[in-house]
């Protein structure tokens, strides 16, 4: 059973999302402003948050920042058309994905499906003892743990999966569309901006100088790769 928190100041939208996501494996929590959402994440076991950006008391971006101070729970932002800057900002501060209003029920279901499972796997569900090393980065896929020069690095589930993909294939270039398809298991619509934001966030956490990365390189016009280390 996965606990999914739906936060929107419009109750009709909350109810619609519950209908779209009707599944016996989901239990729903409801919030109608950002402060309430933060409180519910702090006081309940939550496996996924669906949260609107424009809300009273505390908007979705500020709530996202507060949640990330204590939790790596997956967060999907609910955005209106034309809020492109808010989408990028949301991804930058730790959101895993976004869904644009008005919702397509099939899209909502598809984007939600993999997130709770990925989050639970980060808790140590894997029995594979894989340890991948690239330079000073070590990814322990059994413990779902990443360290940089021996120091732990806190990653969101999406950041972890992207890093794992690149580290498992050092030197191989993946286009934004390929990364999006593999990580989100979805059609790569709008993939360039989404993937670019997550790569930038990974660089900020793993590179001494994100502007001149040692590990996560861009191949202009082609995509991204994890640099082989001698």
pLDDT along the chain (230 residues), means of 10: 92 94 90 95 91 91 89 88 74 84 86 76 47 87 87 93 93 93 76 88 92 91 84
* pTM for the predicted model, two decimal places: 0.63
Q: How far is the C-alpha of 157 from the C-alpha of 144, rounded, in Å? A: 10
For position 83, what pLDDT does the model report?
A: 65
For position 229, what pLDDT does the model report?
A: 65
- Cβ burial, residue 205 (10 Å; 0-12/13-18/19+): middle
For position 82, what pLDDT does the model report?
A: 65
Choosing among 1.20.1050.10, 3.40.50.300, 3.40.50.2300, 3.40.30.10, the CATH entry for 2-121 is: 3.40.50.2300
CATH of domain 131-226: 1.10.10.10
Q: How far is the C-alpha of 99 from the C-alpha of 18, rounded, in Å? A: 15
Q: How far is the C-alpha of 111 from the C-alpha of 36, rounded, in Å? A: 24
For position 190, what pLDDT does the model report?
A: 63
For position 102, what pLDDT does the model report?
A: 85
Alpha carbon of residue 57 to chain centroid: 24
Residue spans per domain, the chain: 2-121, 131-226
For position 127, what pLDDT does the model report?
A: 35
């Amino acid at each position: 059973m996965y606990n999914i928190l739906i936060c929107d100041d419009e109750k009709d939208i909350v109810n619609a999302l519950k209908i779209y996501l009707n599944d016996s494996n989901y239990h729903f929590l409801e919030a109608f402003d950002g402060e309430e959402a933060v409180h519910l994440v702090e006081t309940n076991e939550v496996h996924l948050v669906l949260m609107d950006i424009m809300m009273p008391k505390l908007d979705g971006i500020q709530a996202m920042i507060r949640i990330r101070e204590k939790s790596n729970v997956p967060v999907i932002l609910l955005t209106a058309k034309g809020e492109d800057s808010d989408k990028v900002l949301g991804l930058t501060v730790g959101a895993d994905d976004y869904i644009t209003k008005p919702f397509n029920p099939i899209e909502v279901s598809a984007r939600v499906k993999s997130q709770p499972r990925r989050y639970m796997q980060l808790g140590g569900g894997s029995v594979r003892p894989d340890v991948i090393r690239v330079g000073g980065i070590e990814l322990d896929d059994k413990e779902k743990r990443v360290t940089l020069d021996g120091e732990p690095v806190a990653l969101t589930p999406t950041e972890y999966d992207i890093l794992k993909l690149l580290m498992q294939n050092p030197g191989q270039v993946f286009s934004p569309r390929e990364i999006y398809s593999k990580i989100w298991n979805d059609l790569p619509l709008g993939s360039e901006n989404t993937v670019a934001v997550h790569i930038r966030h990974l660089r900020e956490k793993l590179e001494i100088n994100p502007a001149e990365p040692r590990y996560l390189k861009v191949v202009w016009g082609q995509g991204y790769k994890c640099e082989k280390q001698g």
